[in-house]
Structures are given as structure tokens and as C-alpha cells.
Amino acid sequence: MKKRGPYFLRSDGKPEFKSGIRQDATPLMQIMRVDVVSVQPTSPISACVSLMAKSGFKRLPVVLATKRLVGIISALDIANFFGGGEYYKIVERLGHSFYKAMEQPVELIMSKDVISVSYDAKIGETVELMIKHDLSLLPITNKEGVLVGVVSVRDFLDKAEYSIPDVTVQEIMKSDVVTVSLNDSVRDACVKAVNYRRHRLPVIFNSQVMGIFSTMDLVRYLASSEPYKRLITGTVDEALNIRVADVATPEVIYVSPTDRLSKVYRIMCERKVGYLPVIENGKLVGYISEKELLRFIVENF
């Protein structure tokens, strides 16, 4: 169960649980989560993927031992590192060794220019910042830069039940869908995810959506024992030479262009999904994400 504010922050930036709800608790403190899953710059990537897989969070703050925020790492960074982009050059310097790659420190691939807000930031400004920079999760710090909580798009959507515009999916959906084939390799999917900066890719076979491949599917695969079973010479290519079909989420929860946003909201909340393919007459015509839903709500209210 998520622990939420509001809590009074002591001078060292830690929540004062025994104080309960205080008069000086800010609105953001009432929404933010304080049970933050984080890693340190020196944490090995193997530990990072294990934490991501266990927690279900695709973005983890990176903090020093003092809890000062110094970066953030995402599942897309993991995909970049294991074959999708610029970070793969590090793997090449390691002789493509999967074992060595898994033990590299998080600081090599984390984003150092991390965007965060102070715990006393206004709700509207916080939401606008997340929308502007296309963020699903935002770290919250005290005045000394110490991490005290996080807030996500889902946290804000949870409060938006009575603010859903009465419009159809086709008025908000995106049509620039990036897909992968059922028989593509996970390595191929990583390349597409990184090149297009997409965390989720519908899996297509004979023009039908057969599942969804996400960067979190990659993380869960890497955190399991399966990659090691595929190793012969111990290379990253061997570990990722597995079909998308074998790691993707097979269940396809979708909506149609004529469905109302209220239905989208209900499905996302009840099924805890942040991405829905839009299918019309059996054909994939677009998608809608929780970030797009939040963006539309903000722009229309």
C-alpha cells in the first residue's frame, strides 16, 4: 500500500510521521508519495533492474547516501544501454559482456539533468512541468535538494475523476503509433523504443495487435534468470536474442475511437494501465496514454 502525505518535513528533510496532518502541509505534500524507491549512483545496473521489476516503477530517482537527488534512471535508459542507443557504446567497450554490463554503475547511464520540484511548489505548476517535459514521475525535494517524495501522472489522475471532459477517444488519441513484429528480437524492439522514445510498442502479427512490448517487459526479463540461460559465450547479443513474443505482455486492453474518455479513465484506473491501443474494425488506428489524458484535462479546464 502506498504511503502518502501530508506530512511535516523536519529540517533534515525526513517526514515526521507522528505529527500527522499539519496546518502547514502544502497541497503537493498531500498528494506525493513518501515511500520512494531509489538507487545510488554506484548501484549496479543488475540491482537497478531488480528494484524496477519489484516496484513496478519505470523511473527511479538516483540519490547519494545523504538522500540528495543527483539523477534519475528510467527503463528507457536500460533499453538504450542494452542495445538501443548511445549507451550501447559502453557495452562495446566491455567486449559485449553481459555479465560486466549488468555490474556497471547506474551513474554511467542515468540522466544527470534531473527535473524536480520543491515540496512547496504549486499543484498547477507541477502538473504543467510534467506535461511540458513529458514526465511520468517527478521527484520532490526540500530546500537542500534532499529527496522527500515523488509524484506521478497517475497520482494526479486519481484526483481527476470529476474533471474528465465528455469527449470521445478520437479527439485526443495519437495516430503516430510505433509497432514491432511478433518475431522481432528484443534487441530490435529496444532500438525502436529508444529511437522513437516510446516506452510501449504494440506487437503486430498479420495486421492484428497480439500484445504490448514495454521497456518494463525488458526490465522484468533482465531481472529474471532467463537471460543467463541463453548465454553461451556471455554476450549481450545472446541475452537479447529472444523474440518479442516471448517477453511482451500478451493481454491487449484496448478502446475504440468512439469510446468516451470516462471509459478510458475507468479502464486505466481499474486495470492500472497507462497506455491503451485504439482499435477500429480490428485495425490499430492510434493510442491514448495517461499523460495525454492528463494533458487534455489540464488544457480544457
> Which pLDDT score, from 0 to 100, does residue 2 have?
38
- Domain residues of the chain, as ranges? 8-162, 163-233+243-299
- DSSP per position, the chain: ---B---EEPTTS-EEGGG-S-TT--TGGGT-BSS---B-TTSBHHHHHHHHHHH--SEEEEE-TT-BEEEEEEHHHHHIIIIISTTHHHHHHTTTBHHHHHTSBGGGTSBSS---EETT--HHHHHHHHHHTT-SEEEEE-TTSBEEEEEEHHHHHTT-GGG--S-BGGGT-B-----EETTSBHHHHHHHHHHHT-SEEEEEETTEEEEEEEHHHHHHHHHSSHHHHT-SS-BHHHHH-SBGGGTSB-----B-TTSBHHHHHHHHHHHT-SEEEEEETTEEEEEEEHHHHHHHHHHT-
Same fold, 8-162 and 163-233+243-299: yes
> Which pLDDT score, from 0 to 100, does residue 164 have?
87
pLDDT above 70: residue 10: no
pLDDT above 90: residue 280: yes
pLDDT above 60: residue 91: yes
Q: What is the mean pLDDT of the chain?
A: 90
Q: Which residues pair with 69 in a beta bridge?
A: 63
Direct distance between the N- and C-terminal alpha carbons of the chain, in angstroms, rounded to an integer: 31
pLDDT band at residue 24, thresholds of 50, 70 and 90? Answer: low
Question: Domain 163-233+243-299 sits in which CATH superfamily?
Answer: CBS-domain (3.10.580.10)
Those residues with Cβ within 8 angstroms of residue 81's Cβ, 6 or more apart along the chain or in another chain:
45, 87, 88, 90, 91, 101, 104, 109
pLDDT above 50: residue 7: no
Instruction: Name the pTM for this structure.
Output: 0.87
| Mean pLDDT of all residues in 160-168 | 85
> Which pLDDT score, from 0 to 100, does residue 160 have?
82
Compute φ and ψ for 62, nearest 5 degrees.
-110, 125
Q: How far apart are CA 74 and CA 225, in angstroms?
A: 21
pLDDT band at residue 260, thresholds of 50, 70 and 90? Answer: very high
The fold of 8-162 is CBS-domain (3.10.580)
pLDDT tens per residue across span 204-255: 999 999 999 999 999 999 999 999 999 999 999 999 999 999 999 999 999 9
